[in-house]
């Protein structure tokens, strides 16, 4: 998977009829791209074909209650033109449910290629799109989650293996010595190779 950037499209997108009939509102979807910096940044393609960058400035805040003893806080935001020049591939994948039980629907994926000249859109085309029946996948997924819920509710899982005490025991008593032994053996092997 890896990291990506997000794009909101206000520009009128070319849509195949098969997608128009099944996808409720494509302008509410966020597209992904790997053609920018891949830092989870946010871009906007405006109605007139200009690409904008949602720029954020962060500052470190100390916080002893957080996992890393602090966090990055947004202190300044602005939307600026982005002078992108070249080809931009962006895409989205969506599951559209047919009923309230969420056991039938469609998997829709659409892939665009847009050509930009100094931050302005020159042309755009649909590279590929797929509309597939997702009913079988959704039913199998529902069965899987129900089975996992039954397994979690067995008495030994509920009162022994899904407890904080068991997780501590597993991590500190079972896994930690194994990891230390592996590290020791790896270091020993490196020493033997170095001196033999």
Q: Kindly give the confidence (pLDDT) of every residue in the chain, 196 residues in length, as a single tens digit, with 9 standing for 90 and above.
A: 578 999 999 999 888 877 777 777 777 888 999 999 888 899 999 999 999 999 999 999 999 888 888 999 999 999 999 999 999 999 998 888 887 878 888 898 999 999 999 999 999 999 998 989 999 999 999 999 999 999 888 888 888 888 888 889 988 998 999 999 999 999 999 988 888 7
Whether residue 88 is found in the same domain as residue 39: yes
Residue 144 included in any domain: no
Identify the burial level of 51 via C-beta atoms within 10 angstroms of its C-beta, where 0-12 means exposed, 13-18 middle and 19 or more buried: buried
- Residue 38: its pLDDT value, please? 87
The reply to whether 149 falls in a domain is: no
Within a domain: residue 188? Answer: yes
CB atoms < 10 A from the CB of 159, how many? 10
- Give the number of domains in the chain: 2
Domain span including residue 188: 154-195
Same domain, 66 and 123: yes
| 172 and 80 housed in the same domain | no
178 in a structural domain: yes
pLDDT of residue 52: 95
| Length of the chain as a residue count | 196
pLDDT of residue 1: 57
Residues 28 and 118 in one domain: yes
Last residue of a domain, one of 84, 101, 135: 135
pTM for this model (two decimals): 0.69
The pLDDT of residue 47? 93
For residue 20, the SS3 value is: helix
């Amino acid at each position: 998977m890896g990291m990506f950037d997000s794009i909101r499209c206000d520009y009128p997108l070319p849509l195949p009829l098969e997608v128009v009939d099944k996808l409720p509102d494509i302008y509410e979807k966020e597209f992904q791209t790997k053609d920018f910096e891949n830092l989870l940044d946010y871009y906007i393609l405006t109605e007139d074909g200009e690409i904008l960058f949602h720029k954020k400035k962060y500052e470190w805040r100390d916080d002893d209650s957080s996992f890393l003893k602090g966090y990055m806080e947004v202190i300044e935001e602005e939307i600026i033109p982005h002078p992108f020049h070249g080809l931009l591939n962006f895409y989205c994948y969506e599951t559209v449910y047919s009923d309230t039980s969420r056991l039938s629907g469609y998997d829709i994926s659409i892939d665009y290629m847009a050509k930009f000249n100094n931050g302005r859109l020159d042309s755009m085309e649909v590279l590929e799109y797929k509309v597939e029946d997702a009913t079988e996948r959704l039913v199998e997924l529902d069965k899987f989650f129900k089975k996992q819920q039954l397994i979690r509710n067995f008495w030994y899982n509920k009162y022994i293996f899904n407890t904080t005490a068991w997780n501590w025991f597993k991590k500190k008593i079972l896994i930690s010595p194994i990891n230390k032994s592996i590290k020791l053996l790896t270091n020993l092997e490196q020493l033997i190779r170095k001196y033999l």
